[in-house]
Structure 1
């Protein structure tokens, strides 16, 4: 049997009666509690969504191009430089 994890956090959500019934039926079909079913399902989808943000693989040629882009000096952007010269809304002194 797997290692038991101490769960200390709680997540509440509102859902329709039909959605709850669907989750209950799916959990029952897998012989699990609704909490276990929802948590495992949500974590599985979350891991899929975050996977490409954590690691990615490149071939040798693409890797070399990626490293070259990282090592290249930044390009100048006239519009961006002009924007940074203008006063920010956060820099404006309030008239009290």
Structure 2
């Protein structure tokens, strides 16, 4: 998700130490951005990096073939799971 500086409607409050604020202000000045722009862009970049491995993963050719084969394989039977689905759920209304 690219950083989009327009159409900001949400607010996020943040408490920090004086020294942390000074560091952010200095870094924002060097980047020629407002502190808000600098913090938002930095936080979004970090968030994207932390979430990347949950959305994108890479496999070598051998593992890719095994992955595709597993997706294409017919489903296996799981008798215990089948029995569980036949049982009445605690969430089903009482009859």
4+ aligned runs moved over 6 Å, structure 1: none
Larger relative CO (CA 8 A, sep 6+): 1 or 2? 2
Q: CA RMSD in A?
A: 2.6
Matched positions, count: 91
TM-score (norm 1): 0.70
Residue in structure 2 matched with residue 34 of structure 1 by the alignment: 35
TM-score (norm 2): 0.71
Rounded Cα–Cα distance in structure 2 between residues aligned with 1:17 and 1:30: 21
Give per-residue Cα distances to partners, 1:22-60, cap 9 Å, x unaligned.
433432343321111111111111211222233332222
Does residue 7 (structure 1) correspond to residue 7 (structure 2)? The answer is yes
Mean Cα deviation higher: 14-23 or 50-59: 14-23
5+ residue gaps, structure 1? none
Residue in structure 2 matched with residue 73 of structure 1 by the alignment: 74
5+ residue gaps, structure 2? none
Rounded Cα–Cα distance in structure 1 between residues aligned with 2:94 and 2:17: 53
